[in-house]
Structure 1
């Protein structure tokens, strides 16, 4: 099949065509022509303002399969990812059973083999994600796990983190950790501050994130290896990571794409669709996130896609589960809330090269002869997501009914074309 992308603006810094408007012909999954000439094709995609970049990668998404398919399954997460512009997605290990065996790794890889979106397994660091005994990490790495994390369950024990850092060095692996001291966040519902006090809700202190970052950086300096912090949200944590990078530590971090969309003062009180972990923080924290994205301290933006069934969200605020559905809206939410501080060129790289550099995977190149791994988007077009049009099984999103800037048109990956 031949697909012609007509007069598209290329976002690909390592390509000779970066920021140029070109015609791109894709034949059977391979870029066969880039230039000004028009070519015959089975399908022509021609839209005013259309842009193309390397396919976007997400470092943090939850799929319920196996065991929790009523929240999300492999087909539905792939559909939602494609609609959101992602060609590759890293899946958290918090399934049932936990993703901690070679069989589980192979299952996820094989189930997505023929889908237009590649699903990469993040294997559990500890058995049953209980934070105690390490899994068979070498076997899991050889089976295809791209990183190790206990996912939604932050590693608490310094001894476990130390051993894991030493272990992953045997195969140049990556340890990921969600930065949260669970003893300090126990029963917390939202950011600890003036708003939580006024609403009478138990707060989640910034300190719970900051002390874990400080401790883990000390362990990293002592043990060596590579470490990635998932879902950072506070100014002090970002500053500590910035200093650690300057000191030469192999540390990276990401932020949920929605983290700058709200503060604790702008969320709708008691609406469980605004209940996320880490919570929406203060305006100072949002400013620090923007600065961290600008100066490269924050390596990637992630969807933090956490789909839930109605029964897990339609409850009193303190009983509802944390998390929102965000694969389809991740780019648009970030573009809407960050366009005043982060140029589009840099924003796109937080979804393309940034995530791949974190996990050591090659970044797609838009040049003739290269396999097409592409995302098509209209950065200036607005759209309104809704529960009726979402492809995710779950409807837990604070962005339904809100106008967002930047619409994904489709993806081309594994010789498959998905257009919306």
Structure 2
């Protein structure tokens, strides 16, 4: 298949001679064949010529959830990867949120097999502990050999500090990445939203910022003792940013992410008791969102994730106390980031980080496989259900102001377009 991108603006700081320049890009059989000022198409070439079209390296998400196996009604792997492709992502890390959760090499093999031959590449995580119960370490080495890129009991805090210590020590033998969700359950208790003015006004049980920060402080002390690589997913408070910044200054190998919605939406959105705003970690204060934004700009926070979590309607359309935590986010992440940081800043965040997981970093140059995201930058709109590709519709971003739209993706000798 031959594809010609006409007069596209290239957004790629790694190639200074092409960055923000308009060029034609010819792709033959999945490989970039030419990048020129003007290329005339042959009769068998698919031409994409769209006003304000931009192109970057394919985007990467360090933490998404689908439903399969066990919760296929929420999202299958096939539709989840199609949603990712339509949302601009060519590589995604899959969380351990299925049922059963993946805690053996055969589970990892199944996930990779189910995602075979898709445009967007799926990279699974394995459970850190058996069944994600936090009691016994899972088969980490076997799962690593089968293709697991890290180990995470999804959204379940590791309460046993000694087990985390052992995991970090053991994982160093095969350069594995250990995840630890930042929440001290003895502090958070039965809380469901951020503890503060909004929770008090609404009469909802609060989760103090302290619950996150205590867990992070503990984990960093353990990491300093053991060495190894620690990933802290979806931080949400200003003090968490400072704790991680201080740890990085010490030379610790600690990495972290933030969910896109925690950069934009605050706990004041809870006033209507809309369960779409019930997420974990909870929405925090304006001071926290500003600190998270600064943490991204400074490099303290390594990744922005969609934290894509599909949930079927009966888990959300209930009383706030009884609703499940989570929101889809693949479709809205670029629009949020572009609105917040501009398209150069957004693309910088969306294309970084594969190397930490051992995934090959794509290159935008002749002779390299095409791994590209296509988008516009100036369209302004409110996000609506019309922009959702997921099987589940539980989006925290409904009615949020967005800027820029994803046109499609090219990878693995395939193309997916939204128009």
Q: Secondary structure at the match of 1:153?
A: coil
Check the 8 A contact 2:109/2:147 in 1, yes or no: yes
Shift of 1:100: 1.1
Q: Deviations over 1:221-252 (max 9, x none)?
A: 11001111100010001011111111111111
- Say if 2:99 is the partner of 1:100: no
What does 1:53-64 correspond to in 2, within 5 Å? 53-64=56-67
Give the corresponding residue for 1:124: 127
Partner of 1:258, secondary structure, is helix
The question of whether the paired residues in 2 share the 8 Å contact of 1:383 and 1:407 is answered with no
- What are the superposed Cα offsets for residues 257-312 of structure 1, whole Å, 9 maximum, x if unpaired? 11122111234431000111111101110110111011111111101011111110
Following the alignment from structure 1 to structure 2, what is the Cα–Cα distance between the partners of residues 379 and 160? 46
Q: Could you say which residue in structure 2 is the equivalent of 1:297?
A: 300
Residues 16-35 of structure 1 correspond to what in structure 2 (within 5 A)?
A: 16-35=17-36
1:361 corresponding residue in structure 2: 359
1:402 CA drift (Å): 4.2
1:9 aligns with 9
Equivalenced residue count is 415
Are 1:261 and 2:259 counterparts? no
- CA deviation map 1:74-104 (0-9, x unaligned): 1111121112111111111121111111111
Q: Quote the residue 1:288 is aligned against.
A: 291
Query: Which deviates further from its counterpart, 176-185 or 398-407?
Result: 398-407
Could you say which residue in structure 1 is the equivalent of 2:404?
406
How far apart are residue 18 of structure 1 and its match?
Answer: 2.3
TM-score by length of 2: 0.96
Unaligned runs of 5+ in 1: none
Residue of structure 2 equivalent to 1:160: 163
In 1, the alpha carbon distance for the partners of 2:186 and 2:168 equals 23
Structure 1 stretches of 4+ with a deviation exceeding 4 A read none
> Is this contact kept in 1: 2:12–2:18, CA < 8 A?
yes
Match of 1:416 in 2: 414
Runs of 5+ in structure 2 lacking a partner? Answer: none
Taking the TM superposition and a 5 Å limit, the aligned residue runs for 1:211-226 are 211-226=214-229
CA distance in 2, matches of 1:212, 1:165: 16
3-state DSSP of counterpart to 1:148: coil
Q: Spell out the pairing of 1:20-99 with structure 2 (5 A cutoff).
A: 20-41=21-42, 42-99=45-102
Once the two structures are superposed, residues 152-195 of structure 1 have per-residue CA deviations (whole angstroms, 9 ceiling, x without a partner) of: 21222111111111111111111112211122222212110011
When the two structures are superposed, what TM-score results if normalisation uses the length of structure 1? 0.96
Q: Is the 8 A contact 1:55 1:352 kept in 2?
A: yes
Is 13-22 or 158-167 further displaced after alignment?
13-22
* Aligned partner of 2:374 among 368, 373, 376: 376
| Counterparts of 1:227 and 1:84, CA distance in 2 | 28
Query: Is the CA contact (8 Å cut-off) linking 2:336 and 2:401 kept in structure 1?
Result: no
Select between 231-240 and 146-155 the one with higher mean Cα deviation: 146-155
What is the root-mean-square deviation in Å for CA atoms of aligned residues?
A: 1.4
